[in-house]
Chains A and B, each alone.
Chain A
């Protein structure tokens, strides 16, 4: 085993990052642009003097760039500190601004934990939450959605692309239904913004959350798009920054970085998505082909170009992640053993995975610096790791020989 893993392929001594859905490195081209806003351009955007106005100008230029990537108007962009904050502002802000109109909110069962927890809190505050189930690929059923919308429904919030399984929802159709029924529509695009095209008008989106650090910008900057004329209550009251919706001294440096990251994503999106698709294809086919009793989680086609999520029978995910880490490869799992609460991923359970398969899940997410060489290396070592862990496992007799992936990829 040990010998097998010492494969000399040029990446042996380098760490390999397959966890771009967790966070990304700041692109060096981005880093250069925002560093001056920590030093000579440090002004407060609310100040009247030249220091302040310099910062204010950078902020407004950034707003234009971020808005442009989702085809929104600059004044519809509210900068926040994280997608979690944006999601909280969207849900709580919408709920409290419209509670006289209604108290019913619809989300899906595969939202990010910040939406899940937010919805639980709103329940305690007297709001009614419907959590729409998803099918085996993680897709929301549009018929279910239509039926779930009631007279007192104020908001539908559905994640654009799953952070765990990468499934992309039919957001345009969902937006259309919401518009027809006259309810607000929020979507969390933390994983998709900058990776796939988004148009808030075409998609009938009223509120949208996006985050900088998932797209090669710095941490500490994010935004909430709030469609003109949409009323929400702020979470933070104070000096009235960001149109009164988010008081706090503005983190100009991080926002400048966020905007620069948006610029690069816009410029490179098509080419980069195509490149990642090819790598993703190779990765998925390779894993399913080489490892018996392996399964792809999420939709085979309607998925982010950078996400691959697998389940392996008879082995546990944290063990796989640590084995990979010992070889310098960073990945992630939805196994119960990897969390403090010892609960398997709610997303994997929602797509109908039995606990044993959620237990053996592995998420590999690719990004701007992923190379084919790295995929090749992973495809060499992962089968060995699974084999080794299965050797230790009391359950090792595979139920069937590996099948060609073509048989398992189709919906």
Chain B
């Protein structure tokens, strides 16, 4: 079996050495999501550019995650999968892709992949909103669902969030 204990080797690789970790200065879009059940939090930053064909693509993407092995690994993988992708394609992302890329996740951890996909949706939503562009219906729906959960999670971590935000204002 291609597993190290609970997790696949691929999950552990991403967990040990996560790709695209950190913040982007002056990001074009930020997605902040949290899972109210387990308590994990994921912040994802994107920079949007254009490819040769003139399509909008995710030029750069970085993440910060507070959570378990699966949450860290799914964050890392989604940045790999999203980097260089046209925005439209990135919106069609689903969690199956993330799980496949990681060679599977233990059943109680499948929700972590939802969190990663949500973080990306939210970053794109934030970008489109800032650009005052029209939001595709599917994205709007996802946003409303995520927003509901986010309120609860922000309440839980409000002290920590305040400290972080104040630190980065300076």
Neighbouring B residues of A344 by C-beta, 8 Å: 39
- Interchain CA distance A374-B38 in the complex, whole Å: 32
Q: Which of A62-70, A256-264, A391-399 contacts B (4 or more CB under 8 A)?
A: A391-399
Contacting residue for B160 out of A314, A338, A340, A391, CB 8 A: A314
Report A349-408 residues with CB < 8 Å from chain B CB. Answer: 354-356, 359, 391-397, 399
- Interchain CA distance A338-B32 in the complex, whole Å: 23
Contacting residue for B72 out of A319, A342, A355, A395, CB 8 A: A319
Neighbouring B residues of A356 by C-beta, 8 Å: 39, 156-157, 160
Determine if B167 and A392 form an interchain contact, defined as CB atoms under 8 angstroms apart.
no
Interface residue A318 (Cβ < 8 Å from any Cβ of B): yes
Determine if A322 and B157 form an interchain contact, defined as CB atoms under 8 angstroms apart.
no
On B, residues with C-beta under 8 Å from A are: 5-7, 12, 15-16, 18, 21-22, 32, 37-43, 64-72, 108-109, 156-157, 159-161, 163-164, 167
Determine if A397 and B164 form an interchain contact, defined as CB atoms under 8 angstroms apart.
yes
Tell me the nearest residue of chain A to B7, going by C-beta: A322
- Interchain CA distance A339-B43 in the complex, whole Å: 24
Bitwise interface map of A from 302 to 327 toward B, beta carbon under 8 Å scored 1, else 0: 00000000000111101100100110
| 25 pairs, A vs B, C-beta closer than 8 Å | A314-B66, A316-B67, A316-B71, A318-B68, A319-B68, A322-B5, A322-B6, A322-B69, A336-B37, A336-B39, A337-B39, A337-B71, A337-B109, A342-B108, A344-B39, A354-B156, A359-B39, A392-B18, A392-B65, A393-B65, A394-B41, A394-B43, A394-B164, A395-B163, A399-B159
- Interchain CA distance A315-B15 in the complex, whole Å: 14
Determine if A395 and B38 form an interchain contact, defined as CB atoms under 8 angstroms apart.
no
Interface residue A86 (Cβ < 8 Å from any Cβ of B): no
Determine if B15 and A322 form an interchain contact, defined as CB atoms under 8 angstroms apart.
yes
Interface residue A162 (Cβ < 8 Å from any Cβ of B): no
- Interchain CA distance A335-B66 in the complex, whole Å: 12
| The 7 nearest A-B residue pairs measured at CB | A337-B68, A394-B64, A318-B68, A395-B160, A393-B66, A394-B43, A397-B167
| Nearest CB of chain A from residue B145's CB, rounded to whole Å | 19
Report A223-245 residues with CB < 8 Å from chain B CB. Answer: none
Contacting residue for A316 out of B5, B22, B43, B68, CB 8 A: B68
| Nearest CB of chain B from residue A295's CB, rounded to whole Å | 15
Neighbouring A residues of B66 by C-beta, 8 Å: 314-316, 392-395
Given contacts A316-B66, A393-B65, contact A337 B38 (CB under 8 A): yes
Given contacts A337-B40, A356-B39, A394-B43, contact A319 B69 (CB under 8 A): yes
| Nearest CB of chain B from residue A392's CB, rounded to whole Å | 5
- Interchain CA distance A342-B69 in the complex, whole Å: 14
Considering residues A319, A337, A339, A393, which has the most beta carbons from chain B within 10 angstroms of its beta carbon?
A337
| Nearest CB of chain A from residue B160's CB, rounded to whole Å | 4
- Interchain CA distance A359-B66 in the complex, whole Å: 10
Neighbouring B residues of A316 by C-beta, 8 Å: 39-40, 66-68, 71
Contacting residue for A325 out of B5, B22, B108, CB 8 A: B5
Determine if A342 and B38 form an interchain contact, defined as CB atoms under 8 angstroms apart.
yes
- Interchain CA distance A335-B69 in the complex, whole Å: 12
- Interchain CA distance A338-B40 in the complex, whole Å: 12
| Nearest CB of chain B from residue A229's CB, rounded to whole Å | 47
Neighbouring B residues of A397 by C-beta, 8 Å: 163-164, 167
Given contacts A356-B160, A394-B41, contact A340 B108 (CB under 8 A): yes
Determine if B157 and A395 form an interchain contact, defined as CB atoms under 8 angstroms apart.
yes
- Interchain CA distance A340-B6 in the complex, whole Å: 12
Contacting residue for A392 out of B12, B70, B72, B163, CB 8 A: B72
| Nearest CB of chain A from residue B169's CB, rounded to whole Å | 12
Determine if A326 and B21 form an interchain contact, defined as CB atoms under 8 angstroms apart.
no
Determine if B163 and A394 form an interchain contact, defined as CB atoms under 8 angstroms apart.
no
